[in-house]
């Protein structure tokens, strides 16, 4: 099990310092940047997450530590075939509606990270990666659908087995898709993966 920082705590701190991205979105952005450009400097990613800050504060320092931890874990996971790569998403005991929204937000961050890393619409990509990125872009729109409060509450009432399974399948698709995109776009870094 990967030990990402506590998402609600990080979310609160990011909100307090008026960051550009939220917790799950910032992890998605990092993974997108790693896929697009391989080695991504923590400070380059943190600038995307936090924006410009004139002076340091206790909250900013705390967020910085948490982000460095996320950066280190993510780089390790994406480059080590023995380590299980995981998306930074809410725990399974959170309501399904909240997890669906978080997955959509993660995917928004991923697409944003790809763009920041230099992958543009006209960029020549391997066919698999192109298809996966298109799918992840579609999934990123799920975040907007779940925003409707009434729909969110209705989906919490209907949390059933089928929805859980579907959510797990989509999450797994995004997780494996991210690794495949990384492998295709950064073949030298992930060369220890055997097919």
- Where along the chain do its domains lie? 7-185
> pLDDT value at position 158?
53
Spatial contact of 66 and 13, defined as CB atoms under 8 Å apart: yes
Structure tokens, 114: 């790809």
Residue 178, C-beta contacts closer than 8 angstroms, at least 6 positions apart: 31, 35, 78, 85, 87, 110, 136
> pLDDT value at position 82?
77
The pLDDT-based confidence of 46 (bands split at 50, 70, 90) is: very high
Mean pLDDT confidence for 71-93: 90
> pLDDT value at position 147?
46
> pLDDT value at position 195?
36
Where do we find the tokens 């705590």? 9
pLDDT higher for 118 or 1? 118
Mean pLDDT, the chain, whole residue set: 87
The CA–CA distances, whole Å, from 43 to 26, 78, 129, 148, 171 equal 13, 18, 26, 35, 28
> pLDDT value at position 106?
97
In three-state form (DSSP H/G/I as H, E/B as E, the rest C), the secondary structure along 25-90 is HHHHHHHHHHHHHCCCCHHHHHHHHHCCCCCCCHHHHHHHHHHHHHHHHHHHHHHCCCCCCCCCCC
**Degrees to nearest 5, angle at CA 182 with 177 and 188:** 145
Mean pLDDT confidence for 76-103: 90
pLDDT higher for 186 or 2? 186
What is the spatial distance between Cα 109 and Cα 43, in angstroms, rounded to a whole number? 17
pLDDT higher for 4 or 189? 4
> pLDDT value at position 95?
92
Residue 54, C-beta contacts closer than 8 angstroms, at least 6 positions apart: none
The pLDDT-based confidence of 153 (bands split at 50, 70, 90) is: low
Among the four given CATH numbers 1.20.120.740, 1.10.10.10, 3.40.140.10, 3.40.30.10, the one describing domain 7-185: 1.20.120.740
């Amino acid at each position: 099990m990967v030990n990402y920082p506590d998402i609600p705590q990080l979310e609160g701190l990011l909100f307090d310092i008026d960051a550009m991205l939220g917790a799950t979105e910032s992890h998605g952005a990092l993974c997108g940047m790693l896929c697009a450009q391989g080695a991504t400097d923590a400070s380059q990613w943190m600038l995307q997450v936090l924006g410009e800050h004139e002076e340091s504060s206790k909250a900013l320092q705390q967020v910085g530590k948490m982000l460095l931890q996320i950066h280190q874990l993510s780089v390790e996971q994406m480059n080590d075939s023995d380590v299980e790569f995981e998306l930074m998403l809410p725990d399974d005991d959170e309501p399904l509606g909240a997890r669906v929204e978080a997955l959509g937000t993660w995917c928004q961050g991923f697409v944003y990270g790809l763009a920041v890393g230099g992958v543009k619409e006209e960029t020549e990509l391997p066919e698999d990666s192109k298809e996966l990125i298109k799918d992840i872009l579609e999934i990123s729109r799920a975040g907007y659908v779940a925003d409707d409060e009434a729909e969110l509450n209705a989906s919490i009432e209907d949390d059933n087995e089928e929805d859980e399974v579907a959510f797990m399948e989509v999450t797994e698709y995004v997780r494996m898709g991210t690794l495949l995109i990384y492998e295709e776009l950064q073949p030298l870094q992930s060369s220890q993966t055997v097919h």
